[in-house]
Amino acid sequence: MNPLYNHLDKYGSIIEQVVKQANQRMQTLLANYTVVNGRLVLSEENVAYTMDLVDRLYSTLNEAGYGRFAEKYRNDFMNIYKEFNAAKTQTYNFNFLPKDKAVLQAISTANYEGLFRVEREVANTIQRLATDYVLTERPIADLANELREQLEGRLQRYAKTHVETSTRQAIQKGQDLVLDNEGIEPKDRYYEYVGPLDGITREECVEAVTQRYFTEEERLDFESEYGVRYNCRHVFQYIPKAVYYKVGKK
């Protein structure tokens, strides 16, 4: 199996467990509201509690393991390169130079901080929802469903998207660093577009997998046209010039 899939499957499973724990703990937060006949009461206590909800949410998510998940992702950052190096299909290794350390550290930190941006967006949305429910004295059961949707439908999905997208970008950037280190000129860089071809593959990726082999110019044109490609499971894997011509390219 492509090491990228192993890496992403691992983190997808972790965030799923974090959200499951957070959902259970969220019920404790809701239990502190004053409710009458199943509806939230518009009271000074409920409003004040809602104003502090963001900090309570951060604590709840941290207790559920979100912080450990983000820390693990940062600490395991270099493992993705090690996994690719161990894959038998690789035609080159991720061998970095000392000067690359700062760049790799910056990528790792940006990926780590991105997970907390996701957390903040979801926490702020939950606070806005809770405020609206208190001010309009709506059923707390409906609020519980809204919060569950925020955790499962947004936090889990967005965190997974961030990990998938940032990991693929890290692989691509790491590969470019190696090619620069080895002095391979852009005109001599060739790629195989690798990744799954299944029912959820984007149309542009279907076309790229079908084309399969790319020059540096073709890769840049593709990336310029289609941009970030969130959740994309494909990478441009470098292949030597001899391999490119051996498969029939001119």
pTM of the prediction? Answer: 0.85
Q: How far is CA 177 from CA 77, 85, 99, in A?
A: 16, 15, 10
Compute, in degrees rounded to 10, the torsion defined by CA atoms 114, 119, 123, 129.
Answer: 80
Q: CA–CA separation, 183 vs 143, rounded Å?
A: 58
Q: CA–CA separation, 141 vs 38, rounded Å?
A: 7
Q: CA–CA separation, 199 vs 141, rounded Å?
A: 36
What ranges make up the beta strands (E) of 25-127? 35-36, 39-40
Q: CA–CA separation, 51 vs 127, rounded Å?
A: 7
pLDDT digits (tens, 9 = 90+) for 55-103: 999 999 999 999 999 998 888 888 888 877 776 666 677 888 999 999 9
pLDDT digits (tens, 9 = 90+) for 26-66: 888 999 999 999 999 999 999 999 999 999 999 999 999 99
Count of other CB atoms within 10 angstroms of residue 5:
12
Count of other CB atoms within 10 angstroms of residue 183:
7
